[in-house]
Amino acid sequence: MAEFSSPAALIAACKATREAGYTKLDAYTPYPIEEVWEAIGHHRSKLPLIVLAGGLAGATAGFLLQYWASVIEYPLNIGGRPLNSWVAFIVPTFETTILFAAFSAVLGMFALNGLPRPYHPVFNVKNFSAASRDSYFLMIGTNDPQFDSEKTRSLLESLGAKEVSEVAE
């Protein structure tokens, strides 16, 4: 785990470690930096698909609820008008679509990020609390095939890290 004092240094370090062949990388920053995420080389987020599924489920559930209540369970004949007056059902269907999609966006984001997780070994790193203020961290996993305690440390130091420390699992 290496601490850097500027986003530019972190991005350069991400790229350099990637070129050195490391793959198990993660970075910690006080705000989202797209380049870091790209430099680390991760895949697309699965979240949009989850939200789409949630929205479709919401639309189906909302419409079926109204259909079932108005046509099957409690039909009211008002001047012979059709029971399945789907046009009127669109408004609640729309609202349930949004509701389910929004919940799947938030819960899906938590699930993909493995939150809530109150304890994580990185919190033990000295000065890590600055990651939520103005410090930028790069972590190389010990399970990385390239990982070697000495070499990795000197690589990170050569990239201009302010401080390099090991995180105990």
Write out the two tokens for 91: 């408004």
141 near another protein, judged by CB under 8 A:
no
96 near another protein, judged by CB under 8 A:
yes
Question: By the 8 A CB rule, do 66 and 89 touch?
Answer: yes
Question: Of 16, 23, 24, 35, which one interacts with another protein (CB under 8 A)?
Answer: 35
Mark out the alpha helices in the chain (DSSP H runs). 7-19, 34-40, 47-67, 86-113, 149-158
d(CA 31, CA 127): 17
Choose one: 16-24, 63-71, 140-148, 153-161; the region binding another protein (CB under 8 A): 63-71
64 near another protein, judged by CB under 8 A:
no
Choose one: 2-10, 16-24, 148-156, 161-169; the region binding another protein (CB under 8 A): 2-10
20 near another protein, judged by CB under 8 A:
no
d(CA 48, CA 52): 6
Choose between 46 and 151: whose C-beta lies nearer to another protein: 46
Identify the CA nearest to 25 among candidates 160, 158, 162, 155.
Answer: 155
Q: How many CB atoms lie within 10 A of CB 168?
A: 8
What are the helix and strand counts (H, E) for the chain? 5, 4
Question: Of 20, 56, 64, 103, which one interacts with another protein (CB under 8 A)?
Answer: 103
> What does the binding site for another protein look like in residue numbers (CB under 8 A)?
6-8, 11, 26-33, 35-37, 40, 42, 45, 47-48, 51, 65-66, 69-70, 73-74, 76, 85, 88-89, 91-92, 94-96, 98-99, 101-103, 105-106, 108-110, 112-113, 115-120, 122-123, 128-134
